[in-house]
Amino acid sequence: MKVSELIEKLRKEDFRIESMISDNHNIIRVRFLVNNQKEFESNTLYVGGSDLYPTLAPIHADASIALVFNPELPKEWKPNREEGNLIFVISENSIFEVFNQIQDIHQDSSKLLDGSASLLECIIRGKEVREVIETGYDILNNPIMLMDTSYKVLSYKTDTTVEDEVWADLITRGYSSYKYVTKFKYERIIEKVLLNEDPVILDTGVAEKIRRIIGKIQVNDKCMGYLAVLEYKQPFQGHDVKIAKLICEVISSIMKEDKWQKNARGLMWENLIQDLLEGRVTEESELSDRLKSCEWIPDQNLSMVSVDMSRFNDPSFIDYFRVQIHRLAPQFRSIYYNDAVSIIIEAGKTDAYKNNISSLISFLKDNGLYAGCSNRFSDLREIDRYYKQSRRALFFGRLMEPAKRMAAYQNYILHDLIYDASLYLNPKNFCHEGVLKLHEYDQLNGTDYYQTLSVYLKVNKNVIAASETLFIHRNTVNYRLEKIKEIFGINLKESEETIHMLMTFKVMEVMLSGIKHDR
C-alpha cells in the first residue's frame, strides 16, 4: 500500500494526523523505530514514540517514520521537508496499540494485494468457475458459495460442517427450497444486492446468527448469479468485501465467454423446469422473468416425453444420451429427473415435429430405450400434470405394447382412470357381464370370440377393417359376430351397450396385465 493510503485509513479510524510526504512510496513492511537508529530500509514504515523525534537520523526518500504523540502534538513541532517522510499520529492509545493497528491495516492491504494477484492468475490461466471459488475460499478462509439466479448451487467450498439452516438446505438439495426463497423475497435480500455496486454484509433475518457477504455476478448489465460468503471460521476482515467484489468480477469475466453463457442458459432453463415440476413457480410474472433470463420463448404447442433411464447407473451415459437428443433437435430441452430423461418438445412446424419424433424413436430403438409421450399443452405452469402423463404413458406402454418404443398417453387415458379407480373399487363390478362370459368361454373352448368382438368395436363396427386387423376373411368375422349374439345375447346395435363393452375391454386389459396397487 502507498503511504498516502495508510494516512487515509488512519484518519478513517479517527486518528489525528499531521504529515509531510516527499515520496509516496509503497510500504512493504512495518518495523518498530529504535533509539539512535541509523539505517533505514527502503519501502519500510518505522513506528516510534515522540521522544525519539530529536534524535532521528536522515532517512531515505522511500522510507517513512510515524511518531505517536499522546495526547497532543506540541505546537512548536512541525514536519520539515528536509526531514523526509514524517507522519505524526496523535492518539490517546499507547505506541504498542497504534503499532498493532498500523500493522493490521498493512496486513489487510497485503492480503488484498495477494488476493487480487491470485484471482488475476485465475483469469490469465483460464481457470474454471469452480477453481475461482476455491481460490476465493483460500483467501477469505470462510465458507463460500456461488448460485445462479434460480438459487441453484453452481459451486461451493468449505472444509468444515457449517451449522446454518440456509447453507445446509442449499448443500443438501443443490438449490434453495421454496421456504428460503420466500424468506429471501420477504427480507428483500436480492433487491439490496442488486441496488449496490459492491457486495453487501447482511446481519439480520436469515443472517441474524451468521453474518454473510452477498454479491452479484453481472454480465452485460444482466445479473447471472450471486456469491455468498459466511462469517463462520473467522470474523470478516476489512478487505473481505473488496475480495468478494473481485471474485464476482473474475467470475463475471469467465461468464462473458460464449461457451459459458450457453451452458449457463442451459442450466438456467434446466433449473426452471425442475422448479416448475416441483411447484416452486406459480406466478405468471416470475415465470416470464425467468424465461427471459434463460432466453427461452416456448412454443404454444408443447408435449412432454419421458425416457426410462432406471437401468443406467452411469451418469456419463445419461449425459451422452442428452447430448445426442439435443443433436437430433437443438430446440429440445431435457432434464434428468426421477430416473428418467424428460424432454420438452415444441411442435413448431408440423413436418419438423414429425421428423424430430421419428428421429427420436429411431434413437430409442438403437439404444434399447422406451419413452412415454404426454398430450399437448401450452402453459408451462401445468408442466407437472403433463410430466405425469408421460410417465404413465411409459408405464402402460411397457406393459401393454412392449414392442413400441414410444407410447402416447392419449391411448391410455381410460387405462389410467381404471388403474387409479382400482385403488378404491373392484373394476370387475362395472364390467359388462356378456364380455366377461365371452372371455371365460374362450378360455374353456379355445375360441377367439373375445378378441374378434374387441377389434370389431375398436374399428367402429367395420367388418372389412376388422378382418384385415385379425388377418381372417370377413365371412369369418360375420360368423363369429352371429355366434356372439346367439350364445351371449349381446346387442351390437345399442350405443350405450357398445360404450359399456368398450370400457369393459379396457378394464380387462388392465386386469389381465397383472397391474396391482400396493393397498
Question: What are phi and psi for residue 348, nearest 5 degrees?
Answer: 55, -135
Q: Which residues contact 153 (CB under 8 A, 6 or more apart)?
A: 145, 146, 147, 170, 171, 174, 175
pLDDT digits 0-9 by tens, 28-79: 788 888 887 778 888 888 888 877 766 666 677 778 888 888 777 666 656 5
- Residue 281 counted as domain residue: no
Cell numbers for 345, please give them.
418438445
Place of cell 387405462: 415
Same-domain status, 170 and 240: yes
In a domain, 445, yes or no: yes
| Element housing 334 (H / E) | strand 333-337
Residue 471's pLDDT is 92
Q: What nine digits make up the cell of 320?
A: 451422452
401 inside domain: yes
Q: Which three cell numbers stand for residue 489?
A: 345375447
> Is there a single domain that holds both residue 162 and residue 199?
yes
Non-local (6+) Cβ contacts of 295 within 8 A are: 265
DSSP structure string for 143-208: -EEEEETT-BEEEEE-SS----HHHHHHHHHSB--HHHHHHHHHTTHHHHHHH-SS-EEE-SGGGS
Cell of 205: 433475518
Query: Which H helix or E strand runs over 476?
Result: helix 474-488
Which of 387, 411, 435 lies at the terminal end of a domain, its last residue? 411
Domain span at 363:
298-411
Domain containing residue 100: CATH number: 3.40.1390
Give the DSSP H/E element, type plus range, for residue 342: strand 340-346
Residue 215: predicted pLDDT = 94
pTM as predicted: 0.48
CA distance 129 to 122: 9
Going by C-alpha positions, the residue among 143, 146, 142, 139 that lies closest to residue 117 is 139
Q: Report whether 115 contacts 246 (CB < 8 A).
A: yes
Same domain, 228 and 317: no
Residues 376 and 302 in one domain: yes
Residue 137 sits in the same domain as residue 222? yes
Q: Judge if 148 and 246 occupy the same domain.
A: yes
pLDDT at res. 11: 81
Rounded (10°) CA dihedral 375, 381, 383, 384: -120
Give residue 386's pLDDT.
95
- Residues 325, 402 share a domain: yes
Partners of 226 in the β-ladder = 147, 216
Do 251 and 132 lie in one domain? The reply is yes
pLDDT in tens, the chain (519 residues): 777 877 888 887 778 887 777 777 777 788 888 887 778 888 888 888 877 766 666 677 778 888 888 777 666 656 554 556 778 888 888 888 888 888 877 776 666 556 566 666 666 566 678 888 888 888 888 999 998 887 878 889 998 899 999 999 888 877 787 788 888 888 999 889 999 999 999 999 999 999 999 999 888 877 888 999 999 998 998 788 988 998 898 888 887 764 444 445 456 677 788 888 888 888 888 888 778 767 778 888 889 999 998 887 666 677 777 777 777 777 788 888 888 889 998 876 667 778 888 888 998 888 888 999 999 998 889 999 999 999 999 999 988 888 899 999 999 888 888 888 877 778 788 888 888 889 999 999 999 999 999 999 989 999 999 999 999 999 999 999 998 888 888 888 888 888 889 888 888 887 777 665 443
pLDDT for the residue numbered 390: 95
pLDDT attached to residue 262: 46
Report the C-alpha gap between 456 and 491 in whole angstroms: 13
CB–CB of 453/477 below 8 Å? no
Would 276 be classed as within a structural domain?
Answer: no
Dump pLDDT digits (tens) for 435-480: 888 999 999 999 999 999 999 998 999 999 999 999 999 999 999 9
Domain ends where: 48, 72, 106? 106
> What is the DSSP-derived secondary structure letter of residue 493?
S
Number of independent structural domains in the chain: 4
Residue 389 lies in a domain: yes
Q: Say what the pLDDT of residue 304 is.
A: 92
The side-by-side arrangement of strands in the sheet containing 302-308 is: 333-337, 340-346, 302-308, 371-373, 406-408
Q: Are 42 and 11 in the same domain?
A: yes
CATH number, domain of 460, equals: 1.10.10.2840
Domain-embedded: residue 120: no
Q: Is residue 274 part of a domain?
A: no
CATH code for position 377: 3.30.70.270
Query: 425 and 403 in one domain?
Result: no
Cell numbers 495477494 label which residue? 114
pLDDT at 281: 82
Are 367 and 406 contained in the same domain?
A: yes
The pLDDT score that the predictor gives to residue 24 is 78
Residue 114 placed within a domain: no
Q: Do residues 468 and 349 share a domain?
A: no
Tell me how far apart the alpha carbons of residues 88 and 17 are, in angstroms, rounded to a whole number.
6
Last residue of a domain, one of 346, 379, 411: 411
How confident is the model at residue 44, as a pLDDT? Answer: 83
